[in-house]
Structure 1
Amino acid sequence: MNEKELETRLIEIRRHLHQYPELSKEEFETTKAIQNWLLEAGIEIHKTKLPTGVFAEIKGKKSGPVVAIRADIDALPIEEQTGLPYASKIKGVMHACGHDFHTAAAIGAAYLLKESESELHGTIRLIFQPAEETGGGAVKVIRDGQLDGVDAIIGLHNKPDLPVGTVGLKEGPLMAAVDRLYVTICGKGSHGALPHTGKDPVVASAHLITALQSIVSRNVSPLESAVISVTKIEAGKTWNVIPEEVKLEGTVRTFDPIIREEVKQRIETIVKHVAAAFSQESILSWYTGPPPLANDKRITEIVKQTAEQLPLKVIDPEPSMAGEDFSSYLQLVPGTFAFFGTSGTEDWHHPAFTVDEKALIKAAYFLSESARNLLNHITLEKLQTRTY
């Protein structure tokens, strides 16, 4: 198909995905749809032990390295408020982070690469990953063996605040490590009029929340980055009773592994001692999420050159404190992750989140040409370093 036909097809695919979003680990119909779209183009699909997600390959006639393209496929528990004619038909579920865009773009790249597979110097691996939003999908994909033998990996994330035609590429840290904390402050309930007869966990929790905010300002260098946010509080059932306990939940974002560990230790200390100061007990549960996303210098440079040739406007983006489990792949395989401009009206995870679909065909070419050039560069590098 020509470029205009491909663009029309990708918009259709993206809109279908947008209307039928599925949450992490529940992407069963999404998986079937992706498989069907790939099979239409004669692309080989591999069996996987995972219940959702798609693992496929396009093999060139010439043997060579393996370059992977990854797209995430899950949606969020958000009620859509865009008013679009193709808005989500699933109540309370929405592609509010643009994974429908990522999936359609990767399918477009697959179509383009399939058309010229005889010219490929190696294999293109397609990883349509489930459960990115919950932070565990990439690890499961790795354990399933889908990264085995891969020489390089690329991916992208739509960026609403960048205009269409712009791509942000940066070597080194781009997105933050993501950790989650759960705290229970265990006090003693009492009548709201008789607080002296109990041990008020609400007051203790208020002090704890304030104390946690001092960690970044007084323990992390102003030249470094860290975020601690308490995002959920559960306490009590009525207006005149002091509850037995308060539950807090929050997130910690860091770039540096040392700072990541130091922040965790400070949180543990503060939680324990603030609770003790109010004669109460505390329980801290910690969920270690994806590591910081750090792009490989060599791969990023090759992809930058590709983007400039397309042509796209390449910028040096500001790192984001948001997390992305693509980082787990980069712990094992050199690769790069790009921010791709979509001229959106709202940012990620907003109920009115949108993307400009003009960016879709550009993203498909960006992924396909980057993968093709990486195959060529890695093949050449291996030939140059071969000994006889």
Structure 2
Amino acid sequence: MVNQHQDDLIQTYEALHALAEPSGKEEKTAHYLQSRLKDAGYKVNTFARHYGFYVDYPGETEEVIALRADMDALVQEVDGEVRPNHSCGHDGHSTMVLHTALKLMESGEKPYHTVRFIFQPAEETAAGALQMMESGALANVKFLGGIHLRPEQEVPDGKAAPVILHGAIITLKLTIKGVPAHAARPELAKNPIEAAGRLMASLKAVHVDTGYSLKPTELHAGEAANLIPETARMTFDIRSVSNDGLQRLIDQTKEIIQQVEQETGTAIGSEWVEFSPAAVQNDQAVGLAEKAVVKACSKDALAPPCVSPGAEDFHFYTFHNSGLSATMIGLGCGLTPGLHHPAMNFNKKALITGRDILYEMLRQADQVDWKEGTP
């Protein structure tokens, strides 16, 4: 029976991996997961505006402890073809949360809290968590757990971190409008390319005390060698280890944009997009995750907190719900060469370990009196 369950779990992963649908278009992925849950006896709660959904396993109280999985794939070039590709592990995350739900239903256990399994769309575009909250999927949730495959250099295979400390990120898109002119008459122009250069140089002065980065990632301007263009377009990737740090970076950047506008006589339009907040460590939730790793695996399997330079829209759940106890487990799985690499690969047996950790974390969370916030 154990081997059958393991085989089924791996087959689930392979089926989801083959579906690979982009953000906002997870129709077949959602249908597959919903079918498995319905067959097991769950009632599925769906929404009209997106493909996210959730199921509940009833407890003695309407207070909810929950797990969240993401369903979407990246769109990237793979062997010369641009297509959806599961290189961030969302197929694995959905597999582990699905099989945690199936294991709970099969067990027939009677938890004190209602247990919710949330399957969200559009993590890659930082839209899915917000959509699920707007749809009411977080109603009555007191504890929220998640899991994410981690690269080998962050969490070794066979180990699991009780929390992933992602940073905050935002993308700044700029449109610099100048005055065009023939290159032979530069005195008649207000050169947006020169304004872009001054902006890049000035932004090097931006600084906060905690870890951060502010870097240009795109610059487009000009179509002819002898013409000063009217428009330049730039993109900056801005990151900080904390939400407060990111806000300070934003404030300083806005001041510099205004200064460059005045100095160059150009008009700089700005668009702040793709914000994703930083993780805020919740010691209670991390403690539950630590116990779950030790009980499901061993003390040796417990890794220290995973500090990641990446971002995750999971943290919108706590950003907009300050009282929510939440953590995302970092699962070591021998993942190489890295997340978002088109050839990303990992040890599929780690999915079984991840399922067992999630199941145990729910059992630990069920023992907490969430009205008081103490065991």
TM-score, length of structure 2 as denominator length: 0.91
Whether the 8 Å contact between 2:125 and 2:274 is mirrored in structure 1 is: no
In structure 2, give the amino acid aligned to 1:212: L
Q: Which amino acid aligns with 1:93?
A: P
Match among 344, 363, 378 for residue 335 of structure 2: 344
Percent identity over the alignment? Answer: 27
Conserved 8 A contact 1:179-1:252: yes
Q: Which residue is equivalent to 2:3?
A: 4
Match for 2:343: what amino acid? A
Instruction: Provide the C-alpha distance between the structure 2 equivalents of 1:71 and 1:143, rounded to a whole number of angstroms.
Output: 17
Q: Partners of 2:371 and 2:261 in 1: how far apart?
A: 61
Match of 1:229 among 215, 225, 233: 215
Q: In 1, distance between residues paired with 2:111 and 2:79?
A: 43
Tell me if structure 2 keeps the 8 A contact 1:48–1:55: no
Matched, 1:325 2:291: no
Measured after TM superposition, the shift of residue 9 of structure 1 is 1.5
Q: Does 1:304 align with 2:290?
A: yes
Select the residue among 50, 73, 76 that pairs with 2:74. Answer: 76
User: CA–CA distance in 2 between the matches of 1:364 and 1:50?
Assistant: 29
Unaligned stretches of 5+ in structure 2?
A: none
Do the aligned residues in 1 keep the contact of 2:295 with 2:360 (CA within 8 Å)?
no
CA distance in 1 between partners of 2:158 and 2:65 (Å): 24
Amino acid at match of 2:110: E
Alignment of 1:127-206 (within 5 A): 127-161=118-152, 162-170=155-163, 174-206=165-197
**1:236-247 equivalence runs, <5 A:** 236-247=222-233
> What are the within-5 Å matches in structure 2 for residues 97-116 of structure 1?
97-116=88-107
For 2:14, the equivalent position in structure 1 comes to 15
Query: Is the 2:63–2:141 contact (alpha carbons within 8 Å) kept by the matching residues of 1?
Result: yes
Instruction: After TM superposition, give the deviation of residue 102 of structure 1 in Å.
Output: 0.6
Equivalent residue, structure 1, for 2:240: 254
Distance 2:12 2:77 in 1: 21
Quote the Cα distance in structure 1 between the aligned partners of 2:161 and 2:225: 50
Q: Distance in 1 between matches of 2:363 and 2:63?
A: 11
Q: Tell me the amino acid that sits aligned with residue 13 of structure 1.
A: T
User: Which residue is equivalent to 2:198?
Assistant: 207
Relative to 1, partners in 2 of residues 1:383 and 1:318: Cα closer, same or farther, differing over 3 Å? Answer: closer
Tell whether the 8 Å contact from 2:72 to 2:124 is kept in structure 1 after alignment.
yes
In the superposition, relative to structure 1, how do residues 288 and 30 fare at CA in structure 2: closer, same or farther (>3 Å)?
closer
- Deviations 1:183-240 (Å, cap 9, x if unpaired)? 111112233454444222112212212322331xxx312xx11221222222223444
Q: Within 2, Cα distance between the matches of 1:80 and 1:3? A: 35
For 1:273, the equivalent position in structure 2 comes to 259
- Write the distance in 1 (CA, Å) between the matches of 2:290 and 2:211: 26
User: Which 10-residue stretch deviates more, 347-356 or 136-145?
Assistant: 347-356
Q: Tell me the distance in 2 between the aligned counterparts of 1:185 and 1:67.
A: 48
Separation in 1 of the partners of 2:224 and 2:344? 36
Deviates more, 1:301-310 or 1:269-278: 269-278
Q: Match of 2:37?
A: 38
Give me the CA root mean square deviation: 2.3
Letter in 1 for 2:303: I
- CA–CA distance in 2 between the matches of 1:103 and 1:16? 11
Cα deviation for residue 179 of structure 1 reads 1.6
Q: Equivalents in 1 of 2:226, 2:337: separation in Å?
A: 40
Q: Partners in 1 of 2:363 and 2:178 — Cα distance?
A: 61
Q: Is the CA contact (8 Å cut-off) linking 2:126 and 2:274 kept in structure 1?
A: no
Give the superposition deviation at 1:133. Answer: 1.1
1 CA distance for matches of 2:23 and 2:169?
A: 17
- Note the alpha carbon deviations across 1:276-323, whole angstroms, 9 max, x for none: 322322112223723221131112101101101221511223422321
